[in-house]
Each structure stands twice: as C-alpha cells, then as structure tokens.
Structure 1
Amino acid sequence: MFKKLLTHFKDSILLSNRPEKPMDQYFIFYNEAENEWIGLLKSSVSEQELQLLKSLFTLVEYEPSSAMTLPQTWYEFLLMDGPPPSQKKENNVRLIQFYLHHHNPDPSEIETALTGFFSEEVIIFWENNHRGIVIEEKSQIALTEEELIAMTGTLESDFYVKISFFIGKRYPLTKLLPSRFREERDFFAFGLAHLNSTNIFTYERIFPAYLAYHLPEEIKQKVNNEILEIFQQDPELFSTLKIFLENNLNASLTAKKLYIHRNTLQYRIDKFTEKTGLSLKDFYGAFTVFLACLLFDYQQK
C-alpha cells in the first residue's frame, strides 16, 4: 500500500523503522499490517488527504517540545527568513550541502552515518528527502576535501547511495548568512546539472563553468574555432586536455586517472600545441584552452 503512496505524494519516503525523533517536514505513518513506515512531505498533503490517511494508517506522533530544536532553528533561519540561532554568534560557520542521487534513501540512516563521519557536534537538517545541510562551527575539526571524497566512497559501498557535496566558505553568523547560503545553493544546483566529472563541488570549481555557460553568444563566437574543430575531430584529445587542466597540470595524476603512460599524455599535449600554437605551460594559454573545453562540453550536451 505504501509503495502506491510513493507514486502519488511528491518526495515521500519509505522508512526501515520508526524514526526516533520527529522529521520536521514530514508526516510519519505506520502500516501495522505490513509493519512499515512512510514519510509524506507535509507541503504535498492536503487537509482532506491527511484525514483520510489517518483513518487508514497510524499517524506517528511525538511528545510536543516547548521550543524548536536546533536543526529546526537553522531551517527557519536559512530557508524561511527566521531569526538567527542565538548561541555562539561569534563563531564562523561553514555550510556543507549534500544531495543524494537515490529514489528513496532513508534519511535517518544517512544522517547517522554523516554524523559519524563529521562529529557529534555538527548540526544536520534536511530540505527534503534528497537535499540536506551540515553546519560546521569554527571550533570544530573541519573535514578536508580528500576526507569528503573518502566519505562518498564509503556511503556508496555501505548504503548503495551516491552522494554529492558542496563545500561552502566560512561566513560569520549574521543576518547575511541566508543570502550567502542561497548563492551557494544556486551554484550547487548548477554543478549537479552540468558537471558530472566530480561529486565534490566548491565555488572555485563551479564558477569557471558557470561563467562560460552564461557568456553572451557574441563572446562565445570569439573563442578560437580552431580549438573547437580539433576537439570535434578528436574527442579523446579533448578529454585528455580537460582532465589535465582540471588536475592543475599534474601529469602523473592525469595519467593515472586516464590509465595511460605519462609519455602518452605528453605526446597528446605536444600534438595539440603543434596544431594550435598554444602552450598549456603558459597561464593565458591554459586559461584559453580551459574555456574552450568548457564551451565545447556544453555544445555536446
């Protein structure tokens, strides 16, 4: 029965057991006959539908709290123009967004895993059953990009869930933080839609592609057509140069990712330089070729 509800209610989720604490954006129902739980996004359930569901299943209710929980406070602050959290206003915070590429993940299991990776001190709240935010305070030990990459591999192997992260910058806890968060959320959405070579995103990684994508047509037309023609004729060369540039011109790392010998990599780079006269060892040449790579990538989509 609950599986049929999944197709009707937007962003509904099946749960493996009863959540220990309220999921603020969801109604939780229990089907005793099948011994299963489902979370229905409150915004997608009408009052009439709610009454009907309550007559068919058990609505899981929790003891009322006299005050909002800390995750609720952050949800209201960042997404609903609520007041800033009152504690530790002197600290800077880093907002790490995550997105689950999965139809029906169990938020409670994912949250437990994330808390184990970060620290019990971090605050986690969910926008919906696919998107959430981890809030790190300055006093906490911040995970590095390499550690987040390792985390994605562990989550994928243990939970069969692909996850992407956007690592935000550190900002002071002021009334300006929600607008900063919305900017980073827009960049994250762009990265998820247009960049498939990574699952760890930052502003620096996304902005060049964002800029190239939004260039006026007359400027796009001025990009060296010779480079684009070479990419069209030799897609392998395009992939090689793009990965080489994305990895900071590190030949060893690029060769490893491409599963080729360094001499093969150097041969391809030399062939491109010979054809175009552009040297990737020069910053301006590398920038021009990288911009051409980004534009060519979009043309193929």
Structure 2
Amino acid sequence: MIDKIKSLFGEESVSVTPDQNTYMDYSWFSTENQEIFGIKTGSLTVEQNNLLECLFTKLESNTIMMPSAQSEWFQYLYFNKGHNPLFFENENELPSSIRFIHFYSNQLFTHKVEFEEAINAFFHKEVIVVWNSAKEGVIIEKINDQPFNKEFLEHMQEIIAADLYHDVTFLVGKRYSPLANLYLYFDIEHQCFKKALSVKRQKHILWFSKEMLHYILSFLPEQLQKELPNLFLNDMKIDDPILSTVKIYLQQNLNVTATSKKAFLHRNTVQYRLDKFSEQTGIDLKHFEDGLVIFLAIHLLELTSET
C-alpha cells in the first residue's frame, strides 16, 4: 500500500518515518494494517486530502511521534541516522552491555501498549521497545548482570501467546559493548532474523549465534547449495540412518558415548555407522575442518529436502 502511495504522490513527498524536526510539515494517515505514512502538506490538494481521509485514518500530528528515546533508537538502528543514543549517557549510568531481542508476529499488534507493558513486566526493569511496523520491532535490553536465560524467554513467549493471543517469534542477539557500532551489529542481526523467519520450523525462541548458519549459507550460489551435499555425502538421503547418526555425532562434539545416548543406540552401532560413513565418503570426521564441511552439507541437504 505504501509503495502505491509513493507512486501516486512521488517518493520525495511521502514519509513513513516521522522526524522530530519535520513531522509537522506532513499530513499523517494510518492504513487498516496500522502502517503510518505522511504526505507533505504542500503536495496535497483539498480534494486529495478529503479522499485520503475517506480511505485512511487521519492522525493528529501530536500523536504520531514516538517518545524521544524510542525515536532516537528507531532512527539510529533502522536508518543509521544520528548517533548511538548511549553516547550521551553519563558514564556511570552506562550498562555493562546491550542486547537486542528482535520480535515478529504474523498478526498485527492492535494494542502495542499492552505488549510493551507485558515485556516490561517480564523483565522487571525498564527496557526500550522500538517498533518497525505493526508486526515487528526490537527490545533493547540494558544488562548490568546476567541476561535472562532460554527457559525464561520461552516462558515469556508462552505467556504472551496465551494472554495477548499473539504467536510471537523472538530472535535473541548477543551482548555488545554499549558504545560499540550498534547500528552495524543490529543490521546484521535483523537481516539474519528475516532469513531465519523464512526457514523457521516450529521454534519461537531463536538465537543469533545458531541462526547465523542459515544466514551465511544463503550467500552461497544456488547451484553450490544444491550440489555441495551430493559432492560430500555421496548421494545419501536425509533419512539415511548413517547420516542421522553422523549429524548427532557432530552436534555432540565428536563424542561417541554422548552420541549413543542421544540417538538411543549402542556405542558399537554408532561406531559402525561412523566407520561406514568414512568408508563411503573417504572423510575422517575426527578432523574439525572435515566435520564442519559435512555438517554444512547435511544442513543444506535438510533445506533442499524441505522444499
């Protein structure tokens, strides 16, 4: 919808990001999907304005601005405008680290305030929630001690789903120094999150360090993504018991005993399958570099098997 508005009124006359200094120069509207856009007042005729008011919800200018902290973070993280907002904080008040927790819902957040209140209640401290659209945004967590663990975040997701009727997916970023180049790190995490959402499999709490694998592999040429599994796995299928055992072995840090427990197999059976794999492929999984390539090949095979 916004793209159509831009094509009608011109890219330079339409804004979707209210700016503290110029937002009064625009007439602001909201679509039924709660997408906000503004059109320069001088670009609108009376008839056009009346038509837009019939099609969309007219917003008062004083209601469209985010609180100053949210606005600064929004401009900095999503558009690299301005400076890291933490640069201007007192040195004694700086957190030890910053973490981004990205979120996305297939449903529109019709009551954003309720979601923000729920997030603040869970964290038991002030966090900043920055919205990128009516479906997604990021939670900025200032950390002075230990960050919340996986179980806590999973519980939070379940409660939000039950109480707010929103099936939200979160991607938990890593911890950064508060004065680091946060825009760059945020952008990488955000792109990784979008890629992870496209391949998500019944998971609601995603971790940046784990999902980065999907993101990196997406840059491989499509032909290589298709051929690499055949190249290293000798046409094995994803349901081959030898291959499934090899995957678990790699995930268990090349530990045969841990693999046998995880796979519910006798230790001798695990060793037999590993030996069989090496015999068929000529690859010794005990070498880290070889094991890494095989793990990537198995991962790509899984992706191609799902399509």
User: Does residue 263 of the first structure (1) align with residue 272 of the second (2)?
Assistant: no
1:229 and 2:231 matched: no
1:94 alignment partner in structure 2:
99
> CA 1:179 to 1:211, structure 2 compared with 1: closer, same or farther past 3 Å?
closer
Q: Which residue of 2 aligns with 1:292?
A: 297
SS in 1 for 2:201: coil
In structure 2, what is the equivalent of residue 122 of structure 1? 127
Tell me which amino acid in the other structure corresponds to 1:98. F
Shift of 1:59: 4.9
Aligned with residue 155 of structure 1, among 154, 160, 182:
160
Partners in 1 of 2:100 and 2:231 — Cα distance? 40
Match of 2:75? 76
Paired-residue identity, %: 24
Q: Return the letter of the residue paired with 1:230.
A: M
8 Å CA contact 1:244–1:251 kept in 2: the answer is yes
2: CA distance, partners of 1:226 / 1:55: 61
Distance 1:120 1:281 in 2: 46
* Unpaired stretches in structure 1, ≥5 consecutive residues: 1-7, 11-23, 30-37, 256-261
Partner Cα separation in structure 1 for residue 162 and residue 65 of structure 2: 40
After superposition, the Cα gap between the structure-2 partners of 1:57 and 1:133, relative to the gap in structure 1 and judged at 3 Å, is closer
**Structure 2 residue matching 1:43: 3-state secondary structure:** strand
| Cα displacement (A) at 1:110 | 2.5
Q: Which residue in the other structure is 2:185 paired with?
A: 180
Cα gap change, 1:246/1:275 in structure 2, threshold over 3 Å: closer, same or farther?
closer
Deviations 1:6-61 (A, max 9, x none): xx679xxxxxxxxxxxxx878569xxxxxxxx663123889677644646887565
Mapped to 2, the partners of 1:107 and 1:236 lie a distance apart of 47
Conserved in 1, the CA contact under 8 Å of 2:30 and 2:37?
A: no
User: 2:166 & 2:268 partners in 1: Cα distance?
Assistant: 37
Q: Which amino acid is the alignment partner of residue 139 of structure 2?
A: V
Q: Distance in 2 between matches of 1:267 and 1:105?
A: 55
CA, structure 1 residues 28+132, in 2 after alignment: closer, same or farther (shift >3 Å)? same
Which whole-Å CA distance do the structure 1 matches of 2:227 and 2:139 have between them?
A: 41
Unaligned runs of 5+ in 2: 4-16, 19-27
The alpha-carbon distance between structure 1 residues 245 and 116, as it changes in their structure 2 partners (threshold 3 A), is farther
TM-score using structure 1 length = 0.67
What per-residue deviation string (whole Å, max 9, x for no partner) do you get for residues 118-166 of structure 1?
A: 2341111110112111111132652123322232233333344322222
Q: Distance in 2 between matches of 1:274 and 1:156?
A: 46
| 8 Å contact kept, 1:95–1:135 | yes
Asked if the contact 1:124–1:133 (Cα under 8 Å) also holds between the matched residues in 2, the reply is yes
How much has 1:78 moved relative to structure 2?
1.4
- 1:71 is matched by which residue type in structure 2? Q
Deviation at 1:112, TM superposition (A): 2.4
Shift of 1:193: 1.7
Q: Please list, as runs of the form range in 1=range in 2, the aligned pairs for 1:1-301 lying within 5 A after superposition.
A: 27=29, 40-43=34-37, 51-52=50-51, 54=53, 59=58, 61=60, 68-80=67-79, 81-85=81-85, 86-88=88-90, 90-91=94-95, 92-102=97-107, 106-139=111-144, 142-174=147-179, 176-196=181-201, 198-215=203-220, 217=223, 221=227, 225=231, 227=233, 229-232=235-238, 234=239, 238=243, 242=247, 245-246=250-251, 251=259, 254=262, 262-263=264-265, 267=269, 270-271=272-273, 273-277=275-279, 283-284=288-289, 286-300=291-305, 301=307
CA distance in 2, matches of 1:294, 1:72: 40
- Whole-angstrom CA distance in 1 between matches of 2:29 and 2:261: 48
Relative to total residues, which structure has the larger helix share, 1 or 2? 2
CA contact (8 A) 2:103 2:169 kept: yes
Secondary structure of the corresponding residue to residue 164 of structure 1: strand
Provide the TM-score with structure 2 as the length reference: 0.66
RMSD: 4.2
Quick one: which amino acid aligns to residue 76 of structure 2? F
Q: Which residue of 2 aligns with 1:16?
A: none
